[in-house]
Structure 1
Amino acid sequence: MILVTGATGTVGRAVIDQLRAAGAQVRATSRHPAAAQLPADVEVVQADLGDPTRMAAAMRDADRVFLLSTGPAIPEHDAVVARAAAEAGIARLVKLSSGRTGDDTATDPIPTWHRAGEQSVRAAGAPWTIVRPLGFMSNALHWAGTIRAHGAVYAPYGQGRIAVIDPRDIAAVVTVALTTDGHDGQVYTLSGPQALSPGEQTDILGDVLGRRLEFVEIAPEQARQAILDHGVPAELADAIMALRATALETFTSVVHDTVERLTGVPPRTFRQWVADHVAEFPSAAA
């Protein structure tokens, strides 16, 4: 039995799909199981990652755990889950971290939160593997609204490049780490096959969608306000903006061979990701 946390998010759901395809028995945690909308053969249990009692109950009869936590509570949640895993005798815990955690110069919130979480995972005592992806291709979905309304992508840091990765490729590595041997104590940094700027992503989006799209670089303050306007708390908005700024550094533009080395399949390109998600970018007429 493999326990999956963060099961209803982009990566968590992809992990569940790939584990099921591999024949694994899966249990998922959710704060609201009735709304999880997971496949019928996935056992869904109510649990909050900050609740030691609930997490201990969720791990009964499980032997492996996928840990996905987000936001300022990452250090606390990772510590709770890691301790519960060790006490339950879990044979393997795979934590989804952030690629920037591996940059020793990174002191902004998100890598700092994940670095503390990684320390808890290492210290708890259960065998562990850490997966550190760089930027997600799926973040481009945040541009769907302005693409539909204005035929444009608005983003800061236009000169920055990130070797973005398809969440399905992250899930493929997680699945390998959970279902095969030889990954204990390993840290895997993941990337897609090419570092791209927002403008280059916009060109690919327009080409695949069959629309002329414009890239408009905006000030960081304007981008932050747009995040706040979507209801994101100020602390998290600041953390997101700090992470976006790192696109201007070299670290996030480095291409890693980890996906192909571990799965035997090259990581998907951004063009492939867009082609697979065309329906999520409605036309202007829609």
Structure 2
Amino acid sequence: MILVTGATGTVGRTLVDHLLAAGAPVRATSRRPDRAALPAGVEVAHADLGVPESLPGAVRGVRQVFLLSDGPRLAEHDANLARAAARAGVESIVKLSSGRAGDPGATDPIAGWHRAGEAAVRDSGVAWTMLRPLGFMANALAWAGSIRRERTVHAPFAAGRAALIDPADIAAVAARVLTEPGHHGREYLLTGPQAHSPGELVTILAEVLALPLTYVAISPEVAREALLEHGLAPVMADAVMALRAASLEDFGARVTPAVAQLTGRPATSFRSWATRNREAFLDG
């Protein structure tokens, strides 16, 4: 049995499909099982990573765990799950971490949260694998509203470059790692095939959408205020802005062959991702 946390999210939901296709028995955790809307054949267990007493039943009889958590309490949640997994005799944990966790120069909050989470998993005594994506292509969907309204994208750090990855590629990697031997104790830095600046991403979107899009560079202060207006708590807005600023550093533009090596196919390009998600930018 493989336990998938975060199973209703972008990565977790696709991972569930991969595991089912491979014939693996899947259990998914949810704080609201009645709203999980997962495929038939998936066992849904009520669990909350922030409530340790909710976890023993979720990990009972499980061999592998896919651990996805986020936010300021990330390390606490990872520790709760890792301890429960160790007590239940789970064989291995595959943690979705952050590429920044592997950058020794990274001091931003998200890197720190994930480093602490990784440490909690290692300290549990359960075999582990760390998946470290540098950034998600799906974050570009936040631009859909302004693209529809004014054919414009406002984003900070015009000089930054990041090798964003398709979340579906992360799910494909996770499925391989969970169902094949030989990955214990490994840390995989996952990237897309090319690093892009915000302006380059907008140019690609304009071509895919066949729209005359304009990129407007804005200050970090204006970008942070927009995050707050969209409902992010200040601590999360600050963490997101620090992560965005990391695109100005060389580490964020690193490109690795990990996706191709682990899945047997090239990492998805931003153009291919945008083409697949074209309607999400046009409808709404």
TM-score, normalised with respect to structure 2? 0.98
Indicate yes or no: 2:170 matched with 1:170.
yes
CA distance in 1, matches of 2:212, 2:25: 45
Indicate yes or no: 2:53 matched with 1:53.
yes
Indicate yes or no: 2:72 matched with 1:72.
yes
Other-structure match for 1:33: 33
CA distance in 2, matches of 1:23, 1:143: 37
CA distance in 2, matches of 1:189, 1:230: 30
Other-structure match for 2:146: 146
CA distance in 1, matches of 2:33, 2:227: 28
CA distance in 1, matches of 2:225, 2:27: 38
CA distance in 2, matches of 1:153, 1:63: 45
In the TM superposition, residue 254 of structure 1 has moved relative to its aligned partner by 0.7
Amino acid at match of 2:38: L
CA distance in 1, matches of 2:155, 2:172: 29
In the TM superposition, residue 105 of structure 1 has moved relative to its aligned partner by 1.0
Other-structure match for 1:105: 105
Other-structure match for 1:89: 89
CA distance in 1, matches of 2:228, 2:18: 34
Structure 2 unmatched ranges of 5 or more: none
In the TM superposition, residue 200 of structure 1 has moved relative to its aligned partner by 0.4
CA distance in 1, matches of 2:198, 2:20: 34
Once the two structures are superposed, the pairs formed by residues 106-145 of structure 1 within 5 Å of their partners are 106-145=106-145
Other-structure match for 2:270: 270
Amino acid at match of 2:262: L
CA distance in 2, matches of 1:41, 1:203: 42
Other-structure match for 2:199: 199
How many pairs does the alignment contain? 284
In the TM superposition, residue 21 of structure 1 has moved relative to its aligned partner by 1.5
CA deviation string 1:226-262 (max 9, x = no partner): 1111111000110000000000000010100001111
In the TM superposition, residue 40 of structure 1 has moved relative to its aligned partner by 2.1
Other-structure match for 1:245: 245
Hey, which bits of structure 1, 4+ residues long, moved more than 2 A? Answer: none
CA distance in 2, matches of 1:35, 1:154: 34
CA distance in 2, matches of 1:11, 1:121: 20
Q: Indicate the RMSD between aligned Cα atoms, in angstroms.
A: 0.9
State the identity as a percent: 57
Amino acid at match of 1:110: I
Amino acid at match of 2:54: R
Other-structure match for 2:19: 19
CA distance in 1, matches of 2:36, 2:231: 22
CA distance in 2, matches of 1:20, 1:234: 39
Other-structure match for 2:160: 160
Once the two structures are superposed, the pairs formed by residues 227-238 of structure 1 within 5 Å of their partners are 227-238=227-238
Structure 1 unmatched ranges of 5 or more: none
In the TM superposition, residue 18 of structure 1 has moved relative to its aligned partner by 1.2
In the TM superposition, residue 86 of structure 1 has moved relative to its aligned partner by 0.9
CA distance in 2, matches of 1:200, 1:180: 37
In the TM superposition, residue 56 of structure 1 has moved relative to its aligned partner by 1.1
TM-score, normalised with respect to structure 1? 0.98
Amino acid at match of 2:66: F
CA distance in 1, matches of 2:40, 2:232: 32
CA distance in 1, matches of 2:197, 2:22: 35
In the TM superposition, residue 207 of structure 1 has moved relative to its aligned partner by 0.3
Indicate yes or no: 2:259 matched with 1:259.
yes
